[in-house]
Amino acid sequence: MQYDVIAVDMFNLYYRKKNNSLEKDPISIARNMVTFINNEVMQHLTDDGKLFLLYDPIPKTDLGLSKTFKYTERQEIVHAYKKNRTHDRNCLTVVDLVRKNFIHRGSNVISVISDKYEADDYMESIIKENENKDILMITNDEDYARYLSPKVEMMNTDNWLNLFTVDSFREKYNFIPSIAGVCVWKACFGDGSDNIKGALQAKGLRKANDVKLKAFEYVKYLGNNKDVTIEHIEKLKNISHSELFKKKDKTVEEEFIYAINMFDPKYEVTSTFFSNLLVIQSRCDDYSKFATAKDVDEKYNILIEKTLGFIKKEDRTFKFGMIKG
């Protein structure tokens, strides 16, 4: 299938290609990433399609002994956020080499990076700008699954014939994906990859099946109601327990909040839920201010291709037969 937009999660691609590379040095891994994009990804892009290369923040300095990235703003909200995540030193070297390879490939090859937003944060505004176009996301990070739709698919394996779709997600999780629905699911039940503890995993709630059932009903409701936004859910924190207690005919979302409050007299679970939601739903409203798309520069491209080993470096000859490599 041909896509109008293909978005590649570059740090995620690094680890996928690193695991498949026989040689683990930075040049070899970078060359494998570039080859994959050039030989496989580009053939699935329409002639006037756009290729987005999405990056997590690239630190200006070495990662240091801890080998960890800092997610300052999000860790201020949820202290444990990604504290379990480390990166090998080659990752930054490789990703930067690949970025340089594509930086002068024309206006339809767009790199997006800032020191604040993560790769998946750009997807919502990219999808909105390319509404009704066929879009493919290349990543196995299920944070991206919130954006699945009949027009948006996800390549989470190396098999182009077995893409992750809305139907795939529904078969796996038993609800239709939506931005709000997936965010609420993770806020309730946690996200091990980002080290987020689910609000409903609290000690007193582990066996509270009725609370979990209400949460799941709410998630299913959100999947079937695409117009419900995160901003709409945020308003739920203003609903008082006493108001809900008196109300006979509660909405699905009011039933959800009421069920949590019944088990949460100290407001700890509800507070954790909204803190998780705030971190999980983080997104960039306008990716374009962080996007770079430069005209083709053949001389620059030849230099980087030589560095990556796609072009053999020519020996330079000097007088008296002396050769300098």
Per-residue pLDDT of the chain in tens (325 residues, 90 and over written 9): 999 999 999 999 999 999 887 888 999 999 999 999 999 999 999 999 999 999 998 765 555 555 566 676 888 889 888 887 777 778 888 999 999 999 999 999 999 999 889 999 999 999 999 999 999 999 999 899 999 999 999 999 989 999 999 999 999 999 999 999 999 999 999 998 899 999 888 766 666 778 888 899 999 999 999 889 988 888 888 888 788 888 889 888 888 888 887 777 667 888 889 999 999 998 999 999 999 999 999 999 999 999 999 987 654 454 544 444 3
* Same domain flag for 27 and 71: yes
Please state the domain count of the chain. 2
Whether residue 61 lies inside any domain: the answer is: yes
For residue 324, is it within any domain? no
Which residue from 105, 114, 252, 103 is spatially nearest to 180, judged by alpha carbons?
252
- 107 and 17 belong to one structural domain: yes
Residues 172 and 263 in one domain: no
Contact 135, 4 (CB under 8 A): yes
Asked, for residue 325, whether it belongs to a domain, the answer is: no
Predicted pLDDT of residue 206: 63
Q: Are 44 and 136 in contact (CB under 8 A)?
A: yes
Regarding whether 294 and 194 lie in a shared domain, the answer is no
Do 174 and 272 fall into the same domain? Answer: no
Cβ–Cβ under 8 Å, residues 139 and 8: yes
Query: Is the same domain home to 164 and 266?
Result: no
Strand 45-54 versus strand 316-317 pairing type: unpaired
Contact 17, 9 (CB under 8 A): no
Spatial distance between the Cα atoms of 297 and 180, rounded to a whole number of angstroms? 42
pLDDT at site 205: 67
CA 288 → CA 54, 113, 129, distances in Å?
12, 10, 10
Residues 9 and 114 in one domain: yes
Residue 232, domain extent: 182-280
Residue 6, H or E segment? strand 3-9
198 and 103 inside one domain: no
Please tell me the predicted confidence (pLDDT) of residue 66.
54
Q: Please state, in angstroms and rounded to a whole number, the distance separating the CA atoms of residues 124 and 108.
A: 19
Same domain, 167 and 58: yes
Which sign, positive or negative, has the C-alpha torsion 231, 234, 240, 243? Answer: positive
Q: What is the pTM of this model?
A: 0.89
Q: Which residues are 112's β-sheet partners?
A: 54, 291
For residues 25 and 127, membership in a common domain is answered with: yes
Provide the CATH number for the domain around residue 57.
3.40.50.1010
Residue 12 within any structural domain of the chain: yes
> Are 7 and 64 part of one and the same domain?
yes
pLDDT at position 53 is 98
Answer yes or no: do 56 and 145 share one domain. yes
